């Protein structure tokens, strides 16, 4: 493996810069620094840790535009989305800045003394993130982990390390102690694996593919190390005949083509009640045609390129033999500025149950549409996948909304909307989509171990 890797702009296929790959020895040095930084951090007064995280949030807030432009360059995210992502990092830090002063233990009534519990930090937490949302997913791990008194070593994906590296600089600029939050770029098989095997990394948070997640979990099991996994998805957008069809169809492209479909929560299966199937497709076609794909630096752009040439080939492979109903547009080789980028036009496929396109995660702008017969059939079909991350239910019938929301085995569901992520509510998947939850009121506690102490009061 070479000592450096080249970061590429996916909109133009041009190189941006070279980054040095961390070796196992580099990871070990970072972990040693983290161990000593964590000892000092954990004994700070809770209010002092809260202040430090608020200072970090303010510095991120002051650099939203810079971080957003960097994400446009490195990840091809539309500028509007990238600004939202950078602001979200500041909001996540602010939210968990409230946690150090709220990590209350319990006082439990017992005979002969006083019994109290403490939420003790693990020590050093290793966070491994994918390339699709480099800043936001990192912050879901590092903000609550730091709030709970841990140090963090963070491995960004090799394809998209630039915003994470910048966040590491901003943490120091904000006054966080040296060694407390370190970004360690490098390959998954070296840096990520060393987080798994290093005895002083006491918890691992992994976001990425289900296959790598299983290996990471197996490695953590050998070390008896807790692990949180946020993995793939094949989420259903279930549209009943009694729904506001116009609204459901108008919002469906955003629910799957946002970030060019490279979103673990993408509603990549649209399940439509058979009686309105044709009408829904008539409404969907203009919505897809109007989805604006192009230069991510343009304010009006809704979708940029795929992340790499090889990922584009993988996505294209899903269309082999598929029944394509219609496609949107994308820049082509005729466009001199963007022609070499990894573009892929949004695509709507009519699928049958059991088709590969109806079951496997594409992680690109391709959606499979399938009809269903009734409520029970809709639940059965929504659950007909190994995954269980997100999903949407469109109906005007309240009882049905409740029944279907309880029947679909997914961690994050939304009725008459496609929302999945709010920093104040829990996020994570069932089945092959993951283990554990991020975000929400309890996330900082997930970065602690409960210690029970009994004080004898008998004279």
Query: Does the protein bind ligand TAP through residue 188 (CB under 6 A)?
Result: yes
Query: Does the protein bind ligand TAP through residue 189 (CB under 6 A)?
Result: yes
Exactly one of 85, 230, 361, 438 is catalytic; which is it? 230
Query: Does the protein bind ligand TAP through residue 126 (CB under 6 A)?
Result: no
Query: Does the protein bind ligand TAP through residue 270 (CB under 6 A)?
Result: no
Query: Does the protein bind ligand TAP through residue 439 (CB under 6 A)?
Result: no
Residue of this chain nearest to ligand TAP (CB atom):
188
Largest CA distance in the chain: 88
Query: Does the protein bind ligand TAP through residue 365 (CB under 6 A)?
Result: no
Catalytic-residue membership of 230: yes
Stretch that binds ligand TAP, among 104-112, 203-211, 278-286, 350-358 (CB under 6 A): 203-211
Number of residues in contact with ligand TAP under rule CB under 6 A: 30
Stretch that binds ligand TAP, among 50-58, 79-87, 151-159, 249-257 (CB under 6 A): 151-159
Element (H, E) at 125: strand 124-128
CB of 439 to ligand TAP, least distance (A): 10
Q: Classify strands 151-155 and 124-128 as parallel, antiparallel or unpaired.
A: parallel
Crossing angle of helices 79-97 and 134-147, in 10° steps, is 10
Angstrom distance (rounded) from CA 207 to CA 438: 11
Q: Which one, of 196, 263, 319, 318, lies nearest residue 433 by Cα?
A: 263
Range list of β-strands (E), 37-112:
107-110
Catalytic-residue membership of 220: no
Q: Which one, of 318, 316, 294, 313, lies nearest residue 305 by Cα?
A: 294
**DSSP string of 202-240, one letter each residue:** EEEEEES-HHHHHHHHHHHHHTT--EEEE-----EEEE-
Please say which residue, 126 or 296, places its beta carbon nearer to ligand TAP.
126
Alpha carbon 330 to its chain centroid, in Å, reads 25
Please say which residue, 131 or 342, places its beta carbon nearer to ligand TAP.
131
* Terminal Cα distance for the chain, rounded: 66
Query: Does the protein bind ligand TAP through residue 26 (CB under 6 A)?
Result: no
Query: Does the protein bind ligand TAP through residue 429 (CB under 6 A)?
Result: yes
Buried residues in 19-30 as b, exposed as e (16+ CB within 10 A): bebbeeebbeeb
Task: Enter the tokens of residue 392.
Answer: 């949407």
Exactly one of 71, 85, 220, 264 is catalytic; which is it? 264
Given 131, 318, 343, 447, the residue binding ligand TAP (CB under 6 A)? 131
Query: Does the protein bind ligand TAP through residue 360 (CB under 6 A)?
Result: no
> What residues line the site for ligand TAP (CB under 6 A)?
128-132, 137, 155, 157-158, 187-189, 192-193, 207-209, 212, 215-216, 230-233, 264, 361, 363, 389, 429, 434
The catalytic residues are 230, 264
């Amino acid at each position: 493996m070479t000592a450096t890797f080249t970061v590429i702009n996916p909109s133009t296929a041009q190189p941006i810069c070279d980054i040095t790959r961390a070796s196992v020895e580099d990871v070990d040095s970072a972990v040693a620094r983290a161990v000593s930084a964590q000892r000092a951090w954990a004994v700070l007064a809770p209010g002092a840790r809260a202040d430090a995280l608020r200072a970090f949030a303010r510095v991120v807030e002051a650099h939203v535009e810079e971080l957003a432009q960097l994400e446009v360059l490195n990840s091809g995210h539309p500028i509007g989305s990238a600004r939202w992502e950078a602001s979200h990092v500041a909001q996540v830090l602010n939210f968990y800045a409230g946690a150090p002063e709220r990590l209350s233990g319990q006082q439990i009534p017992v005979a002969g003394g006083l019994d109290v519990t403490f939420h003790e930090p693990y020590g050093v937490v290793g966070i491994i993130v994918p390339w699709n949302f480099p800043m936001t997913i990192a912050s879901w791990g590092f903000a609550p982990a730091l709030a709970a008194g841990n140090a963090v070593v963070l491995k960004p994906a090799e394809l998209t390390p630039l915003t994470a590296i910048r966040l590491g600089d901003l943490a120091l600029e904000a006054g966080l102690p040296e060694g407390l939050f370190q970004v360690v770029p490098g390959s998954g098989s070296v840096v990520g694996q060393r987080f798994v095997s290093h005895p002083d990394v006491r918890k691992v948070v992994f976001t990425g593919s289900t296959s790598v997640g299983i290996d990471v979990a197996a490695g953590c099991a050998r070390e008896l190390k807790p692990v949180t996994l946020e993995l793939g998805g094949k989420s259903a957008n279930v549209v009943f005949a009694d729904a506001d069809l116009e609204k459901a169809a108008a919002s469906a492209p955003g629910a799957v083509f946002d970030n060019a479909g490279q979103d673990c929560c993408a509603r990549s299966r649209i399940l439509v009640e058979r009686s309105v199937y044709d009408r829904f497709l008539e409404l969907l076609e203009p919505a897809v045609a109007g989805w604006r794909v192009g230069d991510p630096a343009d304010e009006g752009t809704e979708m940029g390129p795929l992340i790499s040439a090889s990922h584009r080939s993988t996505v294209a492979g899903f269309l082999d033999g598929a029944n394509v109903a219609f496609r949107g547009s994308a820049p082509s080789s005729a466009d001199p500025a963007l022609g070499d980028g990894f573009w892929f036009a949004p695509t709507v496929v009519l699928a049958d149950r059991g088709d590969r396109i109806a079951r496997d995660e594409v992680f690109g702008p391709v959606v499979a549409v399938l009809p269903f017969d009734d409520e029970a059939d809709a639940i059965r079909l929504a659950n007909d996948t190994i995954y269980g991350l997100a999903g949407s239910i469109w109906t005007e019938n309240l009882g049905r909304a409740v029944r279907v929301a309880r029947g679909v085995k997914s961690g994050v569901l939304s009725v008459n909307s496609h929302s999945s992520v709010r920093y104040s509510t829990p996020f994570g998947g069932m089945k092959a989509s993951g283990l554990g939850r991020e975000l929400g009121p309890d996330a900082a506690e997930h970065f602690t171990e409960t210690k029970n102490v009994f004080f004898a009061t008998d004279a």
